[in-house]
Amino acid sequence: MSVIDEFLDHYNREFDFYAEVARTVQSRTEAALSSLGIRAIVTSRAKRPDRLRQKLAKRNKEKPYKDLKDIYRDIIDLAGVRVALYFPSDGGRVGRLIGELFKEIRAPKTFPENRRPKLNKRFMGYVATHYLVHLSSDNTQDTQRRYANTPVEIQVASVLMHAWSEVEHDLVYKPEKGDLSEDEFAILDEINGLVLSGEIALETLQRAIERRASKDDAPFNDQFELASYLTKRATKLDMSTADIGKVDVLIDVLRDLRRDSPAKLSRYLDQISPEDRSRPIADVVLDKVLSSQSKNTAKRLSGLVSKTLSRNRFGVPVDEQTENAFGYFLTQWIALEKTLERLVPPEQGARFLPSQAVQKLGLNHGLVLEIENLRSLRNSLVHGLQTPDPATMRAAGILIQESILPAIKQARGNKP
């Protein structure tokens, strides 16, 4: 049995494993893109054995394989995910997101490496970025731990470019009736030019959507329209548009409060201070919305935030225990913020920071550190950076209610 036949025999038995790894990466990527308001079609696949055989045969002619390890080192796309972007300019944001979600095995590869057309071509050809990643065992459920450390190639390009590359790949690299003629190559080159022109049109369309979303006082249709609106506002506020934050969480909260339109949302955007501008705009607005609510409303909204994060960010349904613990912690945190803000009002235009307020009250350093740690926990939970854990959230809420708030009351002689 040749080394290729031996490898394919192994791969046929492992095919379902690679398909499931790819589906897991697809699911996480798809949920995170939706959370950030990035329009894309995400698909996954394990490499088909028949196509794999053709690829191995071709590469073996160029450089013969010695053993199975040679093939595993050479073929890195046994599990693959494609991200087909509606708007090519979102590519940079997607790249940063992939770096947050997964562990990158190597630096991303950008195509074409030479930005000038190849010989006998007028256009650049395939334009995309490929990432080689694997799931992190630290952020993977027990049932998926066996998939960690398996390489997955993520290909990011526009929807038009993916379609063109599929046609070109099948015709040029896998011709069933001989090599293509000069005219056929010229037609493929011409279509590539149309695709590149289409990408320019998509970018123009993206700007048109942003303008419409900014002018229309009707409710946002979805988180994608909210993302377009916030992107335009972030530019005017001199805030970064590389990461605008978790718009899926924000739109759920705004809909609950019936404030999901540009006119009603502007009151929170007007409160953004210079100190806020280093953070994602959606996260800043969400903080301001939550902190301005009454205790009962905040508790209801915290349950909504927990459900949205669990569904979209972590891919698991939230249980009642987690929802109640999240609500309890968040309402206690809001009570603490409001107490400190009342005792130490921030300077006009400045961002309110609870730890700084405690320092101004002259309370001990240990209390300052506790509040800063609680603030980090709150931000990690609300913005989907940490999986909600009921025991941790309940313990943090008890710490605020039974220790920190009484300490502030005792030190100042004020009732929180």
Most confident listed range (2-16, 171-185, 343-357): 2-16
Distance of CA 80 to the CA centre of its chain: 18
Q: Are residues 414 and 328 in the same domain?
A: yes
The answer to whether position 110 is within a domain reads yes
Domain-ending residue, one of 157, 180, 203? 203
pLDDT of residue 298: 76
Q: Are residues 70 and 185 in the same domain?
A: yes
pLDDT class for 182, splitting at 50, 70, 90?
confident
pLDDT of residue 137: 67
Ordered DSSP codes for 52-64: HHHHHHHHHHHS-
Q: Are residues 283 and 305 in the same domain?
A: no
pLDDT of residue 365: 74
pLDDT of residue 198: 93
* Domain region containing 409: 293-416
Distance of CA 228 to the CA centre of its chain: 16
Structurally, how many domains does the chain consist of?
Answer: 3
Q: Using one digit for the tens of pLDDT, what is the confidence trace for 160-169?
A: 999 998 888 7
From 185, 160, 159, 189, select the one nearest 172 (Cα to Cα): 185
Q: Are residues 76 and 149 in the same domain?
A: yes
Q: Are residues 405 and 313 in the same domain?
A: yes
Q: Are residues 63 and 138 in the same domain?
A: yes
Q: Are residues 33 and 90 in the same domain?
A: yes
The answer to whether position 260 is within a domain reads yes
Q: Are residues 84 and 160 in the same domain?
A: yes
CATH code for the domain in which residue 91 is found? 3.30.460.10
How far is Cα 35 from Cα 244, in angstroms, rounded to an integer? 10
The answer to whether position 210 is within a domain reads no
The answer to whether position 212 is within a domain reads no
Q: Are residues 240 and 320 in the same domain?
A: no
Q: Are residues 38 and 136 in the same domain?
A: yes
Q: Are residues 73 and 156 in the same domain?
A: yes
How far is Cα 195 from Cα 197, in angstroms, rounded to an integer? 5
The answer to whether position 353 is within a domain reads yes
Ordered DSSP codes for 87-133: SGGGHHHHHHHHHHHSEESS--EEE-SSSSPPTT-SS----EEEEEE
Q: Using one digit for the tens of pLDDT, what is the confidence trace for 41-88?
A: 999 999 999 889 988 998 999 899 999 999 999 999 999 999 999 999
pTM: 0.71
Domain-ending residue, one of 288, 319, 346? 288
In a 10 Å sphere around its CB, with 0-12 CB exposed, 13-18 middle and 19+ buried, how is residue 162 labelled? buried
Q: Are residues 38 and 181 in the same domain?
A: yes
